[in-house]
Amino acid sequence: MVDLGILPLLTYPPYFRYTTVMAICGTSTVTVGGRAFVVTIRTDTSTAGFNVECGELGVVSQGKTVKGSLAAIAEAIEQHLSSLPGSG
C-alpha cells in the first residue's frame, strides 16, 4: 500500500492526477462561544487549499490557507451551533 500523503503530486500514477487527494496536515483547536473544538486539517489537491473538519459536530469547511480555513470552520461551527434547538 502506498501512502499518498508523503509523495509529491508529480509522482502519483496518472489516474490519481484527476482525483482529489487529501493528506492530513494536523489538528488544531478552534474556540467558539467559549467552547473548544478539535478540528482536523487536510490538504486538498483539487483546490490547492485546505479542508477542515470538526468531527465532533460533523461540520466541514475549506480555505486557501490554513489560517483562512480555521477562520471558515469557526464561522461554520458558530452557524451550526446557532441553528440547534434551544440555542437562543
* Alpha-carbon radius of gyration of the chain: 15
pLDDT digits over 68-86, tens only?
Answer: 999 999 999 999 999 988 8
pLDDT of residue 24: 76
Do residues 66 and 74 touch, judged by C-beta distance below 8 A?
no
Question: What is the C-alpha to C-alpha distance for residues 70 and 74, in angstroms, rounded to an integer?
Answer: 6
13-47 pLDDT, tens digit per residue, is 444 444 555 677 889 999 998 999 999 999 887 77
For 8, other C-beta atoms within 10 Å of its C-beta total 6
